[in-house]
């Protein structure tokens, strides 16, 4: 049973939508009204963004969601693109059969790109 969507409370839906479109391929606007914006990607994944005055800060480092890529080199290239764009990197790993980078979105949510390269 594949995970279908993630829902986040954000300070600025348009800024978040632009971030997720540019860096994570969430380019399709599936729904938008005064309360909710739903973004989609070509694989059918959805990201629901709701405006909120109290965006969570200081979440534990283990609280995150991720995008799986096919190859470690895809993650490495994505990391370079994110760095060039000035996106804050929160974690990096490239060992023991796992390549991953975590970054902070505009509201501080941790988002991960990862690939399993062998054990």
DSSP per-residue codes, 14-81? HHHHHHHHHHH---EEEEE-SSEEEEE-TTS-EEEEEE-S----S--TT-EEEEE-S-HHHHHHHHHH
Q: Are residues 39 and 89 in the same domain?
A: no
Domain, as residue range, for 20:
1-53
- The confidence score (pLDDT) of residue 3 equals 82
pTM of the model: 0.91
Specify if 36 maps to a domain: yes
- The confidence score (pLDDT) of residue 119 equals 61
| Number of domains within the chain | 2
| CATH classification of the domain holding 118 | 3.10.180.10
CA distances from 31 to 2, 5, 27, 97 (A): 21, 13, 12, 38
- The confidence score (pLDDT) of residue 58 equals 77
Specify if 58 maps to a domain: no
What pLDDT tens digit does each residue of the chain (119 aa) get? 778 899 999 999 999 999 999 999 999 999 999 999 999 999 999 999 999 877 777 788 889 999 999 999 999 999 999 999 999 999 999 998 999 999 999 999 999 999 999 76
């Amino acid at each position: 049973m594949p995970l279908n969507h993630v829902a986040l409370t954000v300070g600025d839906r348009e800024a978040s939508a632009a971030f997720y479109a540019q860096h994570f391929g969430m380019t399709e606007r599936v729904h938008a009204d005064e309360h909710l914006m739903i973004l989609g990607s070509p694989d059918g994944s959805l990201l629901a963004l709701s405006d909120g005055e109290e965006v969570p800060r200081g979440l534990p480092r283990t609280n995150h969601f991720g995008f799986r890529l096919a190859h470690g080199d895809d993650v490495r290239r994505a990391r370079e693109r994110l760095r060039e764009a000035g996106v804050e990197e929160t974690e990096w790993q490239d060992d023991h059969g796992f390549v991953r980078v975590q970054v902070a979105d505009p509201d501080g949510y941790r988002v991960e790109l990862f690939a399993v390269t062998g054990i």
